[in-house]
Structure 1
Amino acid sequence: MPRPRPRPRALAAALALTALAPALLAGCGSAVDGGRRPFEEMVDNGLTKYVGAAKSSVDLRDGDVTEYAFDPASGPLCLHGGTFHAATRDQGSDDLLIYLQGGGACWHDLCVAVDEAPANTGVPEAGILDTKLAANPVRTWNIGYVPYCDGSLFSGDVDIDDDGDGTIDRYHRGLRNLSAALDVIHTAFPHPKRILLTGASAGAYGTVLATALVRQYYPTPDLMVIADGSAGLGKPEDPGFVTSLLDEWNIAHLLPASCVDCVADGNLTKLIAWGLDQDPTIEMGTISSYGDFVIGTTFLGIGPDAYGEAVRAATGSLAASHPQRYHRFLFAGTKHTTISIDSTTNLDDVDFNGLPLSGGLGEILGRFDVTAVEGVTVADWVGYLVAGSPMWVDELAPASAH
């Protein structure tokens, strides 16, 4: 198959890699100003402190799927103390899809979150994970599947006793869980040529920190990121909301000093921009409806109109500052996420590690090969990204359509 024609941002990335060749040949990955590695400030602040710390055992082998259980005594835990699991699917590919599952969030005055990652569920066959879906451009890729059960967007690092009775009520072990999952994924797939890091809902928020951590495991492969169902937004009228969550979940210390006023506006978009500046080879896309009910109404409480305005403004700023490497897929309506299920998915048959899709929740989800803007589906759009196509551009439904 002929090599895809490089799009402008790919050419820019190639030039950057050429300039950084000595660092890459030394096995050090990319470099930034002053010769520092990408995300080195976050590493210095403790990003990688749990790498290699967890103990795992195989609790399921089923064809090309291997599932791992992590010893709770070694750190990983679900929100209420359950065992954390993760899984891989080895299809013999040179490419790797890492998928961060969604499932709500939990803080002191709102706790709506999946709190378990049950055993013997393997890798779901749905959406971008569906290996039989012809429209799925990454159906043949190896998969690292990371369930979500920590309530802190794969980032928290604190145990909380809410009522002061001496018993832990919330184990926010997101950073430990993510690191443990990446340990086994890296062992299974140590040398991919390309990586697509994806996350849905809470997993999309999780890609902000995970991008930096994945780059530490894999310094040199092409790294593409898709955040589905999150633009990194907080509450526009309450800039302190995000800061309070970072403090409650013990994440704030990871923020780099060079990201000036990083979350002062109440969003994570400056941190996302900082990450894109850190590594000039990363490409990133955001998928959202204008009126996402789950994020805009349930969790942020700002409603569809305000959320739509915030999504356009925040993603527009990122697209303007990184026009070759950041693009958006913004569609009409109130659906939440698109990559988790597809046109063939029977919601009663798919198990996303404790996330209930049948019933009301499944009805508000978009579908990977159905949700579209001007005839371009999300699956098409992701395909353009991984193929290096110049057709990977902003796909924006009219603002009035929401």
Structure 2
Amino acid sequence: MSVPEARCRNRSSTGFGVKLNPASDKLVIFLEGGGACFNTSTCLANPSSYSEQNFNSWRGGNGPGGILSSSNADNPVRDWNMVFVPYCTGDVHAGNATGQNVPGIAAPQNQSFVGYANIGHYLQRIVPTFTEVTQVLLTGASAGGFGAAFNYDRVAQAFCPHPVALLDDSGPPMADTYMAPCLQKRWRDLWNLDGSFPTDCADCSTANGGGIVNLASHLGAKYPDARLGLISSDKDNTIRTFFSFGQNNCASIDGLPSSMSSATYAQGLEDLRQNHLSDSASWATYFIDSTTHTYLGGNGFYSTTVSGTALTDWVARLFMGEPPGHVGP
């Protein structure tokens, strides 16, 4: 579905995909991943456009797999209505800035980081379309996982009083020790990230540029009866690479830094669980001893088991039955 107001970072038009099931009163909103754009190297690996042709190619290939599959009997949301939000804004679906020049040699200029604005345009169409919905799952992988967390508050408000669950796959908002404030500041300044936090989350922005981790604890406190879930490998190769740009006070933020060690990343993930999520009954986590990046988009959703708990079962419990709790290392 083309949305005239929605734009990619190269200012081309974009939209979202819909798969309807008139027999269902439940809805999945899935935010696609695909890196981020904040220096020369990261922008090169991040898509700057997403057209209807791109969507048709994705749909005709291996796209609608994993949690978007309508045919796999192990998928707990296989018969739900589904909305697919493509990713072409380079800002983890959380930016609202135009005319931005990315720092770095030969980095892209005059970029539109408007992922958060796009979600707003989409909600103006999605909410009136699903007026009979009784349950919503907002989810995404990688950049889409981060984006699901950034957009959770507004989606929960848009569908209130109906419950909205959050499922963040491989987008852990770690503490400043692991996700350096200088790196967060680059994202804030380039993408206008501060405009995307809930207005009542004062701690989401701190004087040194850090504080994004506080979004997780804020959501848990604001929505004590919600179901909020985080999936992550404890040695995720991809997110370790992105966080490495903040090492040594961002000394190599526009270069090619050495990757954050797997041990440091695992410590950051455990810190997130113990010090920012565990105090809330809303949050549940599923951590895997692996370097794999993302699970929801493919066969990993069905083949992953940790401590005797299948990932599909844990996800099902996130919005049905008893809370799934914390699983894994």
TM-score bucket of the superposed structures, by smaller chain? 0.7 to 0.9
1:292 matched to which residue of 2? 236
Counterparts in 2 of 1:261 and 1:377: CA distance versus 1, 3 Å: same
Please tell me whether residue 269 in structure 1 is matched to residue 213 in structure 2: yes
Please tell me whether residue 69 in structure 1 is matched to residue 27 in structure 2: no
Please tell me whether residue 150 in structure 1 is matched to residue 95 in structure 2: no
Contact between 1:234 and 1:242, CA under 8 Å: does it hold in 2? no
Please tell me whether residue 105 in structure 1 is matched to residue 33 in structure 2: no
Matched residue SS, 1:84 = strand
1:46 matched to which residue of 2? none
Residue 184 of structure 1: how far off its partner (Å): 2.4
Aligned-partner residue type, residue 78 of structure 1: C
Contact between 2:100 and 2:190, CA under 8 Å: does it hold in 1? no
**Total equivalences in the alignment:** 299
Contact between 2:25 and 2:134, CA under 8 Å: does it hold in 1? yes
Counterparts in 2 of 1:228 and 1:163: CA distance versus 1, 3 Å: closer
Farther off after superposition, 113-122 or 86-95: 113-122
Residue 389 of structure 1: how far off its partner (Å): 2.9
Matched residue SS, 1:105 = coil
Counterparts in 2 of 1:187 and 1:84: CA distance versus 1, 3 Å: same
Contact between 1:97 and 1:143, CA under 8 Å: does it hold in 2? yes
1:299-314 mapped onto 2 (5 Å cutoff)? 299-300=243-244, 301-314=259-272
Counterparts in 2 of 1:279 and 1:136: CA distance versus 1, 3 Å: same
User: Which of 118, 138, 158 in structure 2 is aligned with 1:217?
Assistant: 158
Counterparts in 2 of 1:257 and 1:136: CA distance versus 1, 3 Å: closer
Contact between 1:159 and 1:168, CA under 8 Å: does it hold in 2? no
Counterparts in 2 of 1:219 and 1:79: CA distance versus 1, 3 Å: same
2:116 matched to which residue of 1? 175
Please tell me whether residue 159 in structure 1 is matched to residue 103 in structure 2: no
Please tell me whether residue 248 in structure 1 is matched to residue 187 in structure 2: no
Residue 222 of structure 1: how far off its partner (Å): 1.1
Alignment identity in percent? 26
Residue 337 of structure 1: how far off its partner (Å): 0.7
Contact between 2:32 and 2:86, CA under 8 Å: does it hold in 1? yes
More helix by share: 2
Contact between 1:229 and 1:337, CA under 8 Å: does it hold in 2? yes
Cα separation, 1, equivalents of 2:234 and 2:141: 16
Please tell me whether residue 370 in structure 1 is matched to residue 303 in structure 2: yes
Please tell me whether residue 337 in structure 1 is matched to residue 294 in structure 2: yes
Aligned-partner residue type, residue 158 of structure 1: A
Matched residue SS, 1:91 = coil
| TM superposition score normalised by structure 1 | 0.69
Cα separation, 2, equivalents of 1:267 and 1:336: 24
Residue 272 of structure 1: how far off its partner (Å): 1.7
Aligned-partner residue type, residue 189 of structure 2: D
Cα separation, 2, equivalents of 1:83 and 1:282: 34
CA RMSD across the alignment: 2.3
Contact between 2:156 and 2:163, CA under 8 Å: does it hold in 1? no
Q: Which structure has the larger Rg over C-alpha atoms?
A: 1
1:88 matched to which residue of 2? 18
Contact between 2:228 and 2:318, CA under 8 Å: does it hold in 1? no
Cα separation, 1, equivalents of 2:202 and 2:119: 26
Cα separation, 2, equivalents of 1:383 and 1:320: 20
1:14-29 mapped onto 2 (5 Å cutoff)? none
1:136 matched to which residue of 2? 75
Cα separation, 2, equivalents of 1:189 and 1:163: 38
Q: Unaligned stretches of 5+ in structure 2?
A: 245-258
Contact between 2:153 and 2:198, CA under 8 Å: does it hold in 1? no
Residue 262 of structure 1: how far off its partner (Å): 2.6
Residue 311 of structure 1: how far off its partner (Å): 0.7
Please tell me whether residue 191 in structure 1 is matched to residue 132 in structure 2: yes
Cα separation, 2, equivalents of 1:163 and 1:240: 15
1:115 matched to which residue of 2? 48
Matched residue SS, 2:269 = helix
| TM superposition score normalised by structure 2 | 0.84
Counterparts in 2 of 1:170 and 1:285: CA distance versus 1, 3 Å: same
Aligned-partner residue type, residue 309 of structure 1: Q
Matched residue SS, 1:88 = strand
Q: Unaligned stretches of 5+ in structure 1?
A: 1-67, 343-366, 398-402
Residue 81 of structure 1: how far off its partner (Å): 2.2
Residue 115 of structure 1: how far off its partner (Å): 1.9
1:206 matched to which residue of 2? 147
1:7 matched to which residue of 2? none
2:318 matched to which residue of 1? 385
